[in-house]
Structure 1
Amino acid sequence: MVEKTGRPGYLQIADDLRRQIRTGSLAPGAALPSTAQLCQRYDVSASVVKAAISVLRTENLVVGQQGKGVFVREGAAEASVEAANAEGPASQDVMDQLAQMRQTLADLGGRIADLEKAVFQERKRSR
Structure 2
Amino acid sequence: MGKQGHMDRRKVYVRIADELRQDLASDRYPVGESLPSIVTLSARFGAAKATVERALNVLREEGLIQSRQGSPSVVIAKPEQEEAGDAPEEPSQEFTLLWGQLQEIREHLRRQNLRLDELEKRTKDL
Q: Which has the higher contact order (CA 8 A, sep 6+)?
A: 2
Is there any run of 5+ residues in structure 2 with no aligned partner, and where? 1-6, 89-126
**Separation in structure 2 between the aligned mates of residue 67 and residue 42 of structure 1, nearest angstrom:** 22
Q: Secondary structure at the match of 1:54?
A: helix
The AA in structure 1 aligned to 2:23 is Q
Provide the residue aligned with 1:56 in structure 2.
59
Is there any run of 5+ residues in structure 1 with no aligned partner, and where? 90-127
> Does 2:13 match 1:14?
no
Deviation at 1:69, TM superposition (A): 1.1
RMSD of Structure 2 on Structure 1 (CA): 2.5
The AA in structure 1 aligned to 2:29 is L
> Does 2:71 match 1:65?
no
Q: Which runs of 4+ in 1 moved over 4 A?
A: 82-85
**Equivalent pairs: percent with the same residue?**
31
TM-score by length of 1: 0.57
> Does 2:40 match 1:41?
no
Could you report, residue by residue, the CA deviation over 1:83-126 in whole angstroms, capped at 9, with x for unpaired residues?
Answer: 899x989xxxxxxxxxxxxxxxxxxxxxxxxxxxxxxxxxxxxx
Richer in helix (by share): 1
**Separation in structure 2 between the aligned mates of residue 84 and residue 30 of structure 1, nearest angstrom:** 25
Q: CA 1:28–1:45 in structure 2 vs 1: closer, same or farther (change >3 Å)? A: same
**Separation in structure 2 between the aligned mates of residue 57 and residue 88 of structure 1, nearest angstrom:** 26
How many pairs does the alignment contain?
A: 82
Deviation at 1:65, TM superposition (A): 2.0
Larger Rg computed on CA atoms: 1
